[in-house]
Amino acid sequence: MVELAKDELIITPTIHGSIMFKFRGLVIHVDPISRTDYSKYPQADLILITHHHGDHLELNLINQLTKTTTKIIGTELCGTQLTDYIVMKNGDRREIEGLIIDAAPAYNIVRERSPGVKFHPKGEGNGYIITFGSKRVYIAGDTECIPEMKELRDIDIAFLPMNLPYTMTPTEVAECVKIIRPRIVYPYHQGKTNPQELVDLLKDEKEIEVRVFSLP
pLDDT at residue number 191: 81
Torsion, Cα of 136, 45, 166, 159 (10° steps): 20
pLDDT at residue number 215: 65
pLDDT at residue number 79: 96
d(CA 104, CA 106): 7
Amino acid symbol at 106: A
Greater confidence (215 vs 29) lies with 29
* Structural domain spans, the chain: 2-210
Average pLDDT over residues 160-168: 94
Greater confidence (163 vs 106) lies with 106
Q: Domain 2-210: give its CATH superfamily.
A: Ribonuclease Z/Hydroxyacylglutathione hydrolase-like (3.60.15.10)
Residue pair 106/121 in contact (Cβ under 8 Å)? The answer is no
pLDDT at residue number 101: 98
pTM of the model: 0.95
The chain-wide mean pLDDT, for the chain, equals: 94
pLDDT in tens, 50-97: 999 999 999 999 999 999 999 999 999 999 999 999 999 999 999 999
pLDDT in tens, 90-114: 999 999 999 999 999 999 999 999 9
Greater confidence (216 vs 120) lies with 120
- Residue 9: its H or E element: strand 7-15
d(CA 161, CA 193): 10
Q: What percent of the chain has pLDDT over 90?
A: 91
d(CA 105, CA 124): 8
d(CA 13, CA 198): 18
